[in-house]
Chains A and B, each alone.
Chain A
Amino acid sequence: MIIKVALIGNPNVGKTAIFNALTGSRQHVGNWPGVTVEKKEGRCTHRGAEMEVVDLPGIYSLTASSIDERIARNYIIKERPDVVVDIVDASNIERNLYLTLLLLELEANLIVALNMMDIAASKGYEFDTEKLSLLLGVPVIPTVATTHFGIRELKDAIIEAASGKNKRRKVTIGYGEDLETEIRRIEEMIMEDPHLSGTYPPRWLAIKILERDEEVIGILERYQKKDVLEVVGWEK
């Protein structure tokens, strides 16, 4: 079995450097954002397991509004990689964790690679990675891609996550009582359609519908979920 791994993260966090460290390839790594305009693929073997690694474009969020975000998001929704590695710039964690939360909402099989630990350390940052892992409900692996620090641990974590043996709590981001009532109501309507709720995470669909996400509204139209679209006042 080949493990399908997707690398995702903000621009300029070292995704391509992690990709090269994982696959031993020599993809060009630029020190400016936007180097990765289309996805790159590479392979590696670790402890007898073969991995196919895809390097996705750097993005700040997962809305369907720009091409690079759509490429990344559709890859995760449609290709369903076995493991998604979210590369986080440890020296810029506040900005980076926004994407992490969106990936948790998408219910991706997530691992956080806390990269650029050397730069974070030089700024005097210290991390309680165990606590962070507990709060996010996913493994957190500290890395320095340029020196290959943490790469072996990252590969171990990928294999463990792909085996599905990870017993972690599912973290849900709450939106307060008013919104939660609406989210639950829409979620229940979505659950009535087993195919739809089996294809996409129902809570994610409900949240995106409330955000009036164009692509998700398109999905609901294809599934002819008129009742859901009426709830959010969507008219053709």
Chain B
Amino acid sequence: MPGRGGRIFGKRGINELGDESGDINEPVDGKSIKSAIPLGLLSEGEEGIIIAHRCGRGLRRRLLELGFTPSSRVRVVSSFPGLIVDIKGSRIALGRGVAMKIIVSLNSGGGKDDN
């Protein structure tokens, strides 16, 4: 199996957020990369657009099933102790560890608004 995403910003730098095994990790557009941060660092009320998952296939698959698909808009409803996020009209609870593996762009606009 190709390498699993390890550190959030690997040594190859911020321009290669995707891991080698999947094309879904391709950044959505060049501009958004500048403000790419882990979902786990957003505060309450902040929104981001999903651009990458930094994790292995098992977790990525689960995240996709739950609606964390690339280009989706995600909003942090509550951020302590774990996260509650709103995505595609559902509220999903995430542990901080998992939330740190979802990379979002803070750029407003450009994402699919599902609400």
Given A10-B90, A89-B89, verify A94-B65 contact (CB < 8 Å): no
The interface residues of chain A lying within 8 Å CB-to-CB of B62 are 63, 65
- The reply to whether the CB of B66 lies closer than 8 angstroms to some CB of chain A is yes
Verify A61–B90 contact, CB threshold 8 A: no
Instruction: List the 7 closest pairs (A to B, CB-CB), nearest first.
Output: A61-B65, A92-B89, A95-B88, A95-B67, A60-B65, A60-B66, A94-B88
Task: Report the separation of the CA atoms of residues A63 and B60 in the bound assembly, to the nearest whole angstrom.
Answer: 13
Q: Are B89 and A60 in contact (CB under 8 A)?
A: no
Q: Which residue numbers of A lie inside 8 Å of B, CB to CB?
A: 10-12, 33, 60-61, 63, 65, 89, 91-92, 94-95, 98
> Complex: how many Å from CA A64 to CA B21?
23
Interface magnitude class on chain B: 10 to 19
Please tell me if the beta carbons of B65 and A63 are within 8 angstroms of each other in the complex. yes
> Which positions in B face A, CB cutoff 8 Å?
61-62, 65-67, 88-91, 114
> Please, how many angstroms separate the alpha-carbon atoms of A63 and B58 in the complex?
11
Chain A residues positioned under 8 Å from B67 (CB to CB)? 60, 95, 98
Is the beta-carbon distance between A98 and B89 smaller than 8 angstroms? Answer: no
Residues of B within 8 A of A98 (CB): 65, 67
* Nearest A-chain residue to B89, judged by Cβ: A92
Q: Are A92 and B66 in contact (CB under 8 A)?
A: no
Measured CA separation A33–B89 after assembly (Å): 12
- 28 A–B contacts from the bound complex (CB under 8 Å): A10-B90, A11-B90, A12-B90, A33-B90, A33-B91, A60-B65, A60-B66, A60-B67, A61-B65, A63-B61, A63-B62, A63-B65, A65-B62, A89-B89, A91-B89, A92-B88, A92-B89, A92-B90, A92-B114, A94-B88, A94-B114, A95-B67, A95-B88, A95-B89, A95-B90, A95-B114, A98-B65, A98-B67
Q: B90: which A residues are within 8 A, CB to CB?
A: 10-12, 33, 92, 95
CB distance from B64 to the nearest CB of A (A): 9
Assembled-state Cα–Cα distance A98/B64 (Å): 10
B residues within 8 A CB of A95?
A: 67, 88-90, 114
B77 to chain A, nearest CB (A): 14
Q: How many angstroms from the CA of A122 to the CA of B104 in the assembled complex?
A: 30
Given contacts A10-B90, A94-B88, 10 further A-B contacts (CB under 8 A): A11-B90, A60-B67, A63-B62, A89-B89, A91-B89, A92-B88, A92-B90, A94-B114, A95-B67, A95-B114
Q: Which residue of A lies closest to B65 (CB)?
A: A61
Please give, as numbers and ranges, the residues of chain B lying within 8 Å of A11 by CB-CB distance.
90
